[in-house]
Amino acid sequence: MLLRAGKYLTQDYLHRVLQDRHPDELTLDLTDAQFVNPAGLVVLAVLLDMAAAEEWFTEVELPRSDDVQKYLSRMGLQELLDAAEAKCLLPQVRHHPPNLRFVPLQRFDSSHPAEDICDLVLARLDAWGDGILQGTLYNALIELGLNIEEHAQESGFVAAQCYKQQTVSLAVGDFGVGIHGSLAAAGHPFPTPADAIIKAVTTRLSAKEKDGGAGLPEIQRIFDRHKGRMTIVSGGESVRFRPGSAPRPSVSGYPSPGTFLFGELPWR
Partner 1 sequence: MGSTTTIDAPSRMGRRAQAVELLADLPRSLVGAEVTVAFPDIAFATTSFIDEVIRSVLVDRQADRLSLQNANEQVREIACGSAGDLGVTSRLTISPA
- Return phi, psi of residue 219, to 5°: -65, -40
Nearest residue (CB) to partner 1, 62 versus 146: 146
Nearest residue (CB) to partner 1, 22 versus 208: 208
Nearest residue (CB) to partner 1, 61 versus 109: 109
Size of interface with partner 1, in residues (CB under 8 A): 24
Instruction: Provide, rounded to whole angstroms, the least separation between the CB of residue 179 and partner 1.
Output: 19
Chosen residue from 3, 33, 60, 142 binding partner 1 by CB under 8 A:
142
Does residue number 211 form part of the binding site for partner 1 (CB under 8 A)?
yes
In angstroms, the CA 230 to CA 171 distance is: 10
Evaluate whether 46 touches 175 at the Cβ level (below 8 Å). Answer: yes
Does residue number 131 form part of the binding site for partner 1 (CB under 8 A)?
yes
Does residue number 132 form part of the binding site for partner 1 (CB under 8 A)?
yes
In angstroms, the CA 88 to CA 141 distance is: 30
Instruction: Provide, rounded to whole angstroms, the least separation between the CB of residue 202 and partner 1.
Output: 14
Evaluate whether 180 touches 192 at the Cβ level (below 8 Å). Answer: yes
Compose the 174-193 pattern: x for residues touching partner 1 by CB under 8 A, - for all others: --------------------
In angstroms, the CA 201 to CA 192 distance is: 15
Instruction: Provide, rounded to whole angstroms, the least separation between the CB of residue 113 and partner 1.
Output: 8
Mapping DSSP onto H, E and C, the string for 30-53 reads CCCCCEECHHHHHHHHHHHHHHHH
Residue 61 parent element (H or E): strand 57-61
Chosen residue from 88, 93, 118, 205 binding partner 1 by CB under 8 A:
118
Does residue number 136 form part of the binding site for partner 1 (CB under 8 A)?
yes
Chosen residue from 64, 87, 221, 268 binding partner 1 by CB under 8 A:
221
- Return phi, psi of residue 262, to 5°: -115, 130
End-to-end CA distance of the chain: 40
Nearest to 157 by CA among 60, 75, 239, 97: 75
Stretch that binds partner 1, among 27-35, 101-109, 111-119, 171-179 (CB under 8 A): 111-119
Strands 248-251 and 8-9: unpaired
Instruction: Provide, rounded to whole angstroms, the least separation between the CB of residue 226 and partner 1.
Output: 9
The residues that touch partner 1, with contacts defined as CB under 8 A, are 114-115, 118, 122, 125, 131-132, 134-136, 138-139, 142-143, 146, 210-214, 218, 221-222, 225
